[in-house]
Amino acid sequence: MPRVKLFDENEVLTKAMNLFWKQGYSATSVQDLVSHLGINRASIYDTFGDKNKLFKKSFELYRKQNSEGLIQFFENRPNVKIGFSELFDNAIQEAVSDKDRKGCFVVNTTTELTPNDENLYQILETNKQDLINLFFEYLKKGKESGQLKSSQDLKSLATLFYTLYNGIQVVSKIRPNKKELTDSINLAMMLLV
């Protein structure tokens, strides 16, 4: 007779995502997962596979939530200048108020695990291109609606904004300084003309 799962897989996956995000892959042991998730080792292995597979499923969940959140965020902000300004302001506020200084799960994973995991490297490259394309399409929408008058290369601008967005998460892990971050972003926002 097959065993019935007594836990919600999505809830457990979210808990795993948060633990890996906070501690990183290497610093998270299987015992940490057992303790944090509240399920036994056998259930982890039966449901998710080994630690590496659980990590990748958790990471994919984060990427999906992040991407869907950004799409929704931009859709709700038809003004591109205001949208990017709010996006950066939110990123700064989250970074400054993050007591754990955990930053961005994607950024953390990039710095911890590449280039040693080729499969993960491909996932990270896809994530990078997906976000740059999302930024590009938003900028393009602003250009087509007459909000942006400049003849700048929108793809390069999207790449710059992607770099700044991730950079906020990196430098904030040291000692987040809201004024420094805001001043830098205000300078970058002057490119939206």
Spatial separation of the C-alpha atoms in residues 25 and 113, rounded to whole Å: 8
pLDDT value of residue 174:
85
pLDDT exceeds cutoff 80 at 187: yes
Give residue 188's pLDDT band: very low, low, confident or very high (50, 70, 90).
very high
Q: Cα dist. 102→39, 47, 158 in Å?
A: 24, 27, 25
pLDDT digits (tens, 9 = 90+) for 146-163: 999 878 899 999 999 999
Average pLDDT (30-54) is 92
pLDDT digits (tens, 9 = 90+) for 55-93: 999 999 999 999 999 999 999 999 999 999 999 999 999
Residue ranges, comma separated, of all CATH 1.10.10.60 domains in the chain are 1-59
pLDDT value of residue 3:
57
Spatial separation of the C-alpha atoms in residues 28 and 20, rounded to whole Å: 7
Residue 78 CB neighbours (<10 A):
12
Contacts of residue 182, Cβ cutoff 8 Å, sequence gap at least 6: 89, 92
- Two tokens, residue 174: 């040291």
Give residue 5's pLDDT band: very low, low, confident or very high (50, 70, 90).
low
pLDDT exceeds cutoff 80 at 117: no
pLDDT exceeds cutoff 80 at 180: yes
Residue ranges, comma separated, of all CATH 1.10.357.10 domains in the chain are 77-189
pLDDT value of residue 138:
97
Cα 142 to the center of its chain, rounded Å: 24
Spatial separation of the C-alpha atoms in residues 13 and 63, rounded to whole Å: 13
pLDDT value of residue 1:
47
Mean model confidence pLDDT for the chain: 91
Q: Cα dist. 44→20, 29, 35 in Å?
A: 15, 13, 11
* Eight-state DSSP code of residue 67: H
Radius of gyration over alpha carbons of the chain, in Å?
19
Superfamily grouping for domain 77-189: Tetracycline Repressor, domain 2 (1.10.357.10)
Quick check: bond before 115 cis, omega within 30?
Answer: yes
Average pLDDT (14-23) is 94
Spatial separation of the C-alpha atoms in residues 34 and 51, rounded to whole Å: 11
Q: Which fold has domain 1-59?
A: Arc Repressor Mutant, subunit A (1.10.10)
pLDDT value of residue 121:
85
pTM over cut 0.75: yes
Average pLDDT (124-142) is 96
